[in-house]
Structure 1
Amino acid sequence: MHKPNEIRMLALGLIRDGERIFLSQGYDPHKQETFYRAMGGGIDFGETSLTALQREFQEEIQAELTNIHYLGCIESIFTYNCLPGHEIIQLYQCDFVDPKFYQLEKIVFAEGKRQKTALWVDISRFKSGELKLVPEQFLGFL
């Protein structure tokens, strides 16, 4: 999680399979709201965003990435569980090396002490407003 008054640097991977996208599911207890975000994580000091992206996918779901292309930078200022947050996101489009990841319905993994779920979601569910994708600028890349 982020420290107060700190801008977090993230590397996230956009993985598409036809009309579905691979995302991590989150929940804001204060807003009582489920949301979805591309997988990835924090960039460590001295590490490139590309290296961070590959490391995070390896650590979280033991997945290797291929066909990695830089899409752009997103700045996100938000509130999560009553706390202000500020993130600079380096966004990459990529694919899984192992085809098994395209067959899985969902993957449960640990992020620190928290248990998280990653799953395939139909893009139309975000475009219709049924589900919430964060940050919202992410929709522009779909």
Structure 2
Amino acid sequence: MNRHGEIRVIVLGLIQHGDRIFVSEGYDPAKHSTFYRALGGGIDFGETSLAALKREFYEEIQAELTNIRYLGCIENLFIFNGRKGHEIIQLYQCDFVDPKFYQLQSLVFHESENHKHRAMWIDIARFKSGELRLVPEAFFNYL
């Protein structure tokens, strides 16, 4: 780790169904604001981004993915909870294998022992209108 923090390399899966996308809900305590982002997580050393994508979806919501297509790379500089963050995001488009995931209202999953998250389908229009916040902003280029 350098003295300014660390650059995280993560993978996110963009799952679109009609006019909706599948996202998880996050909360920034410093800004008192809720935000949404696609599911995914960190890429481990020695692991490809594709393998990490499949592992993260399986670990978090026990979902298998299909029709996986690489979309591109996003560099994301942000401030979360008052601290600067820097991510390199490998972005993939994908679909769920199990059709039950398309019927879900929402589901709760554990990213770690004390981190509970909610994942849900949200209309893209609600992000585009600014009613809800989708991060990173560059995500809009792929919708």
Same fold (TM over 0.5): yes
1:62 aligns with 2:62: yes
Name the SS for the 1:26 alignment partner.
Answer: strand
- State the alpha-carbon separation in 2 of the partners of residues 107 and 90 from structure 1: 24
Q: What is aligned with 2:79?
A: 79
Distance 2:139 2:33 in 1: 18
- State the alpha-carbon separation in 1 of the partners of residues 97 and 111 from structure 2: 22
Count of matched residue pairs:
140
Partner of 1:109: 109
TM-score of the pair, normalised by structure 2: 0.96
Q: Which amino acid aligns with 1:126?
A: F
Letter in 1 for 2:24: S
The one-letter amino acid of 1:99's match is P
The CA deviation at 1:38 is 0.4
- Deviation string, structure 1 residues 38-68 (Cα, Å, up to 9, x no partner): 0000000000000000000000000000000
Structure 1 spans left out of the alignment, 5+ residues = none
1:63-109 alpha-carbon deviations (Å, 9 max, x no partner): 00000000000000000000110000000000000000000010100
1:126 matched to 2:127? The reply is yes
**Superposed CA offset, 1:20-46 (max 9, x none):** 000010000010000000000000000
Q: Secondary structure at the match of 1:91?
A: strand
Provide the C-alpha distance between the structure 2 equivalents of 1:50 and 1:106, rounded to a whole number of angstroms. Answer: 25
